[in-house]
Amino acid sequence: MAKTYDYLFKLLLIGDSGVGKTCLLFRFSEDAFNTTFISTIGIDFKIRTIELDGKKIKLQIWDTAGQERFRTITTAYYRGAMGIMLVYDITNEKSFDNIKNWIRNIEEHASSDVERMILGNKCDMNEKRQVSKEKGEKLAIDYGIKFLETSAKSSINVEEAFFTLARDIMTKLNRKMNDNSSSGAGGPVKITENRSKKSSFFRCTLL
Amino acid sequence: MEPAAPSSPAPPAPAAPSSPSLSSSSPSSPSPPPAAAPGSAELVCAQGRNLKAVLCQRCGSRVLLPGAATFARRELLLPAMKKKAVAAAAASGGDVVREHWLVRDMFSFENVGFTRDVGNVKFLVCADCEAGPIGWHCLDDKDSFYVALERVAHE
């Protein structure tokens, strides 16, 4: 069968244990089905399909699934990754401080041109907040990385985060392709800003 | 998401290893599509493909677009799709399922989750609510992904 998509991006979720990385992959964070069987073995990765500027993009999203506890995240895990979500918990200062260590880990092991994004998760829990939004923004600016506060529980910015990262990867790819074929055939790849047409990521479109 | 609830007496993992051996009793290549059972007949087109979209029974998440898979028969053992409390009461166990949607390219899926390896098998779950297992993939056959008809909805 012919290929039914335009792009395929491998994305990783990185961050301390308990910051809610796995929940970012749920549509129903609290209502996850979680059979004993499935929660025992754990999820390796998920495939999600999104549409961006009329292009069909397959995202293969990997969750560290607890390996971060043992600091065993190495080159093998990062291989082929085109985008990385760095996740901390706004109610846990330590997880925020560790973002710097995770960035160092990425610089050591991942491809140098991997797209990165910082997410301050659990922003629905404002009363327990330990890390201000400004602090998160400043860190992101220092590293030249995009930043969003998210809540997997309340579905705040989760979809936006994945769309933003996918868009950045796509833009980078298109730029590379243009550079490579600047003397050859084919005009520049046109990227139209049309966010209104985006398909729903975490909501199923019923017919 | 992490370990099993204390209420569950034993990890259900033992149910899984039997699936590869069970499946090996059937022919290695899936049987041809036309012989759809009465129940699945209206779901299969003349070319043996799925006429309707394949959705999660529980949350409606879109797993496959129409035409993305072919009908195939094969006996596979899938662990039960039950919630913790029920699963604990029912102990282990699974169902032998025979009718599947066979997908040849992993990226033909719209939305799906893959469990970690159980022996040489990965089970498929809903990407959105993690209901499952809804399907089966053996690492020895890189180009075959089975989704059990009776564990998904069609629309």
Three-class SS of residue B96? strand
Using a CB-CB cut-off of 8 Å, the residues of chain A touching B4 are: 36, 39-40
pTM comes to 0.78
B54-56, strands of its sheet edge to edge: B62-64, B54-56, B152-154
Can you give the pLDDT at residue B68? 97
Inter-axis angle of helices A133-143 and A99-109, nearest 10: 20
Out of A27, A42, A48, whose CB is closest to B115?
A: A42
Superfamily the domain A5-176 falls into: P-loop containing nucleotide triphosphate hydrolases (3.40.50.300)
Three-class SS of residue B45? coil
Average the pLDDT over B124-131 and give the result: 92
pLDDT in tens, A115-171: 999 999 999 999 999 999 999 999 999 999 999 999 988 889 999 999 999 999 999
Cβ contact A128:A112 at 8 Å: no
Q: Where are the domains of chain A?
A: 5-176
Position B22: which residue type? L
Can you give the pLDDT at residue A20? 87
> Which tokens sit at B126?
């809903």
Mutant choice from A13, A41, A63 vs B, greatest count of B C-beta within 10 A: A41
Using a CB-CB cut-off of 8 Å, the residues of chain B touching A39 are: 1-4, 84
Can you give the pLDDT at residue B7? 43
Q: Is A202 on the interface with B (CB under 8 A)?
A: yes
Cβ <8 Å between B111 and A46: yes
A168-173 long-range Cβ contacts below 8 angstroms, 24+ apart: A168/A83, A168/A115, A168/A117, A169/A7, A169/A9, A169/A82, A169/A83, A169/A115, A170/A7, A170/A9, A170/A52, A170/A53, A170/A55, A170/A57, A172/A113, A172/A115, A173/A7
Specify the higher pLDDT residue, B140 or B128. Answer: B140
pLDDT in tens, B54-112: 999 999 999 999 999 999 999 999 998 875 545 444 555 788 999 999 999 999 999 99
**Cis bond before residue B133 (omega within 30° of 0):** yes
Q: How far apart are CA A126 and CA A120, in angstroms?
A: 12
List % helix, strand, coil for chain B (3-state, nearest 5): 15, 30, 50
pLDDT in tens, A66-106: 566 656 667 778 889 999 999 999 999 999 999 999 999 89
Does the pLDDT of residue A205 top 90, yes or no?
A: no
User: Is the ipTM reported for this complex over the cut 0.95?
Assistant: no
Does the pLDDT of residue B134 top 90, yes or no?
A: yes
**Range picked from B17-26, B76-85, B119-128 for highest mean pLDDT:** B119-128
Q: How far apart are CA A98 and CA A17, in angstroms?
A: 11
Cβ contact A98:A60 at 8 Å: no
C-alpha Rg value of chain A to the nearest Å: 18
Report the percentage of chain A scoring pLDDT > 90.
Answer: 56
Neighbours of A4 (CB within 10 A): 15
> Which tokens sit at B27?
């022919």
